[in-house]
A and B are shown apart, each in its own frame.
Chain A
Amino acid sequence: MNVQFRPEPSTSATIKTAIADCDIHPARATKDELYPFMAKRWHSHLETYGIQAYHGMMEGPPYPKAQPNASRRDAWPPEGGPQGSSLSFMQKQLLDPYNVALGVLNPLASGQGLRNQDFAGALCVAINDWQIEKWTSKEKRLKASMVVPTEDGVAAAAEIRKRAGDPNFVQVLLLSRNVEPLGQRRYWPIYEAAQEIGLPVGIHAFGFGGNPLTPSGWPSFYIEEMVGHAQCQQTVLASLVLEGVFERFPKLKMVMIEAGFGWAPSLAWRLDKSFEKLHSEVPHLKRNPSEYIRDHIWWTTQPMEDPERRDHLFQTIDWIGWDKLLFATDYPHWDFDEPSRVLPPGVSDANREAFYLGNAKKLYGIS
């Protein structure tokens, strides 16, 4: 079934400067690895009914990935299990050679996007406990992201408050594609709780919420899904701003994860220009949309946009602010951004340090 091609794991030359990797995807080595963290009722539920998401596939994603598990071909752990499922191999392939001082775990296959909300909640709690047990308690450089059942705002908020002050967690994690745009009121209990316990909310590209992936229906190809994450994320951010989430929760910080950042200036300009004419429809906004974005939003870098001329990318970052970018590799996924190659010479030392490490430490409260 799967591609059997498993070349020798590659590691890059050790780099000296410490970095933060703000998007690492941990995986389960075996199907039942979460069972110790879930009531027995859910073991049999999983085995009988499986994972029922807002799409039709019982196994595998609706858009087949370009490679097994969308992962690097050299990321299979030598001891077996899928890519990203071995701590020791992650240390050897990612954390040690790239001198990762802070690695933020973003579990994607959690309970998020499931139709059965009780099951979604149970899986999210299990994933959170599992992150501590398997990863953060054994490797101090790693920090966890708290997953919550997005569609059940009340249960999600309870899970967030339950873990207030737990140093294993540095953010609350949501996916970009849900039943409704994330600015809608049903999701506000999540933002209220996150603001209360002082954690940023990360919104990672991906998920299925039952809506076609474009406003003209379902596209054909994986590349359309991948490129389309940027469009979904723009819509999500527009929803958050226009619904007034940042007026209601003025201390809330949000991170746009793995959806690019090059589109941020044009989206902000379009929002401002439309707001100039249509502000009477959204009188709850007290400032220009771009100001909320500038104050409340951080951006992970991977996949970095790839212009023919690199100076165009730096001009785009100038528009966004060098203080808002968080370096990420997306390990172990195939579109991994190699830390030593993303910023060529010509960037000031201060901006370089902020980009690779400083911004992340500050945002996530790591000294």
Chain B
Amino acid sequence: MTSPLPGGVDCDLHPAVPHLTSLLPYMNDYWRDQVTTRGMTDLVSQSYPTNSPISARPDWRPTQGKPGSQLADMQTQALDRFGVTYGICNPLYGVQMVFSEDMQDAFCRALNDWLAREWLDKDGRLRGSIVIPTQSVEKSVAEIERCAKDKRFVQVLMLVMGDMPLGKRAYWPIYAAAERLGLTVGVHAGSAYHNPPTSVGWGSYHIEDYVAQATAFQNQLTSLIVEGVFARHPNLKMVMLESGFTWLPAYLWRLHKFWRGIRMETPWVDRAPLEIVRSNIRFSLQPVDAPPDPATLNRLFDHMQSDELLLFSTDYPHWQFDGDEVLPEGISPDLVRKIMIDNPLKTYGRLEFAKETTP
């Protein structure tokens, strides 16, 4: 087993909202009344059904309530267990599925305040991601600016399957705000289900949706690169969360070939896609979609041709590995250090910033 290093940064933790009613204290009277009067139920997404095996490791599943809903569990099972200095919280509560932008906005604000009060305030290692109501870019920017005053928020969080491809120009004010405020933009697996969850329609199974997440990340990378997001925002860092990464080399080989063939269509793309990925895009470690033998994985790392792309993650409480085997077998101590410490600190500028400014 490859042992984790103390002092790492866990870039993908999922604190769970116990129920929509848990957010009521963070809503104004109007929205509290809406939720109550209209009998709204919990917002659980099909992307992560509560009882699905992938939604929680068997030994991380609490006897009561949703996996990941108790801070004490997260502390003993993840933060203490892997000895991290920081853990970045990416709430996957299904607020993105709501169709009204006003309701989405109210729920996002409540979710972000809930995260700050119920998690970040209670464990100094925790950092947050700002969940935004992407149906309204204006409201999204306002929410980013509101939350960014709290230095413990280090990232803006979007889902990989949303209303529009993420490179679309309509979203650029979100990226401008993130770049200006030193926030990364995290893109996490999951769907708003405003479009069919695959590019060829609705499948039949949960496993099909989950497998398809990786292809959705591929679509989004193409969109972000060819629309020119990184020509306009060269300092913006985006992190693909729970995306898998073993698909990256072959995907880039294909993108690069077509970019060379038809770059006249997108002349504003000022660097080769490979270079853009190496400078602006990062990937969380889990899941490692590869066979467990070190030879195959090391060959894949060679295909990636960079040791700066991966950021340590447990994906807590999702079930990606057993025991303490969070790092794949056979990777070098140097790579372990980069994945666990150096790469996350370079990616998340506000991690160290927050350390300097909070007592």
Contacts and interface: CB of A to CB of B under 8 A. Distances in A.
Contacts of A308: 274, 305
A266 B250 contact: yes
Nearest to A243: B204
B168 interface: yes
B317 interface: no
A212 interface: yes
A231 B165 contact: no
Contacts of B302: 312
A282 B216 contact: no
Contacts of B287: 270, 273
A367 interface: no
Interface string A263-281: 1011101110111011011
Contact of B203 (A217, A242, A316): A242
B290 interface: yes
Interface stretch (A137-145, A164-172, A219-227): A219-227
Contacts of B257: 303-306
A275 B253 contact: no
B59 interface: no
A266 B266 CA distance: 29
What class of interface size applies to chain B in its complex with A? 35 or more
Interface in A306-359: 306-308, 312-313, 315-316, 319, 334-335
Given A211-B200, A223-B262, A313 B289 contact: no
Contacts of A278: 52-54, 206-207, 210
Contacts of A262: 249-251, 253-254
A235 B200 contact: yes
Contact of A239 (B200, B244, B258): B200
B319 interface: yes
Given A277-B319, A305-B254, A181 B215 contact: no
Given A277-B319, A278-B206, A281-B207, A260 B220 contact: no
Instruction: Please indicate which of the listed interface residues B166, B222, B244 has the most CB atoms of chain A within 10 Å of its own CB.
Output: B222
A234 B215 contact: yes
B244 A266 contact: yes
A269 B290 contact: yes
Contacts of B308: none
A256 to B, nearest CB: 13
Given A66-B262, A215-B191, A223-B259, A181 B205 contact: no
Interface in A182-210: 182-184, 209-210
A4 interface: no
Contact of B289 (A266, A277, A335): A266
Interface in B249-285: 249-251, 253-262, 264-266, 274
A14 interface: no
A232 interface: yes
B299 A315 contact: yes
A66 B260 CA distance: 12
Nearest to A276: B53
B306 to A, nearest CB: 12
Interface stretch (B14-22, B30-38, B65-73, B155-163): B155-163
Given A219-B165, A228-B199, A269-B291, A242 B208 contact: yes
B167 to A, nearest CB: 8
A275 B290 CA distance: 13
Contacts of B264: 66
A238 interface: yes
B246 interface: yes
A216 B302 CA distance: 31
B359 to A, nearest CB: 41
A230 B218 contact: yes
Contact of B200 (A232, A270, A307): A232
A61 to B, nearest CB: 14
B133 interface: no
B50 interface: no
B205 A216 contact: no
A214 B165 contact: yes
B303 interface: yes
A217 B195 contact: yes
Instruction: Please indicate which of the listed interface residues B214, B219, B260 has the most CB atoms of chain A within 10 Å of its own CB.
Output: B219
B299 A209 contact: no
Nearest to A236: B200
Contact of B226 (A221, A277, A305): A221
B105 interface: no
A312 B227 CA distance: 28
A220 B291 CA distance: 36
A275 B261 contact: no
Interface string B91-123: 000000000000000000000000000000000
Nearest to B54: A277
A305 B253 contact: yes
Contacts of A319: 296
A257 B290 CA distance: 25
Nearest to A234: B215
Instruction: Please indicate which of the listed interface residues B215, B244, B274 has the most CB atoms of chain A within 10 Å of its own CB.
Output: B215
Contacts of A155: none
A122 interface: no
Interface string A71-94: 000000000000000000000000
14 contacts: A66-B264, A66-B265, A181-B203, A216-B220, A219-B165, A223-B262, A224-B219, A231-B216, A239-B208, A260-B254, A277-B54, A278-B54, A305-B257, A316-B250
Enumerate the 6 nearest inter-chain pairs by beta-carbon distance, A residue then B residue, closest first. Answer: A262-B250, A305-B253, A214-B219, A270-B289, A231-B215, A306-B257
Given A176-B200, A212-B199, 17 more contacts: A179-B201, A183-B204, A215-B161, A219-B222, A220-B227, A222-B265, A224-B226, A228-B222, A230-B254, A235-B200, A235-B212, A239-B198, A262-B254, A263-B251, A265-B246, A266-B247, A270-B289
